[in-house]
Amino acid sequence: NAGVTQTPKFQVLKTGQSMTLQCAQDMNHEYMSWYRQDPGMGLRLIHYSVGAGITDQGEVPNGYNVSRSTTEDFPLRLLSAAPSQTSVYFCASSYSRQTYEQYFGPGTRLTVT
C-alpha cells in the first residue's frame, strides 16, 4: 500500500491564482481530512469527509473548497490564493467505522506571493 499520497510537494502561487492540492489513499478509508500547519503551531482542520459525496467544514474552511466523488480521492481547491494561505497542507485518512486513528500524507508546502 502507498498509504496517503499528496501532490505536489511544493508549490508557489501568485495572489489570486487558483490551484488544486491532490490527496489519495489506497486503504479504503472512509474518513479523509485536510489540515494546515502554520509555523510553530499545531494542525488546524480545514475540511473533512466521512464518505464519498459527504463533506463538512472544519475550524478554518474559508477560502477552500472540497469535494469527494470517490473513496480514494479528496482534492482541496484554492479558488483565489491569498498570502494568508501560505502554509503546509496535510491530508489524512482513517477507517472511521471503528476508530478515527488517522494516517497522514507527506504534506504540500504552499507559498503565495
Partner 1 sequence: GIQVEQSPPDLILQEGANSTLRCNFSDSVNNLQWFHQNPWGQLINLFYIPSGTKQNGRLSATTVATERYSLLYISSSQTTDSGVYFCAVDGGSGTYKYIFGTGTRLKVLA
Which set of grid coordinates corresponds to residue 52? 464519498
Between 77 and 109, whose beta carbon lies closer to partner 1?
A: 109
Could you say which of 1, 10, 39, 42 contacts partner 1 (CB under 8 A)?
A: 42
Could you say which of 90, 93, 110, 112 contacts partner 1 (CB under 8 A)?
A: 90
Binding to partner 1 in span 3-22, by CB under 8 A: none
Residues 6+ apart with CB under 8 A from 16: 80, 81
The whole-angstrom separation of Cα 57 and Cα 61 is 6
If one asks whether residue 27 binds partner 1 (CB under 8 A), the answer comes out as: no
The number of helix segments (H) and strand segments (E) in the chain equals 0, 11
If one asks whether residue 58 binds partner 1 (CB under 8 A), the answer comes out as: yes
If one asks whether residue 64 binds partner 1 (CB under 8 A), the answer comes out as: no
CB of 94 to partner 1, least distance (A): 9
Strand bridging mode 103-104 / 87-94: antiparallel
- Structure-derived torsion over alpha carbons of residues 26, 111, 79, 44, reported in degrees to the nearest 10: 60
The amino acid present at 87, given as its one-letter code, is S
Residue range at the interface with partner 1 (CB under 8 A); choices 10-18, 21-29, 51-59, 69-77: 51-59
Chain centroid offset of residue 65 CA: 10
List contacts with partner 1 (CB under 8 A): 31, 33, 35, 40-45, 48, 50, 56, 58-59, 88, 90, 96, 99-104, 106-107, 109
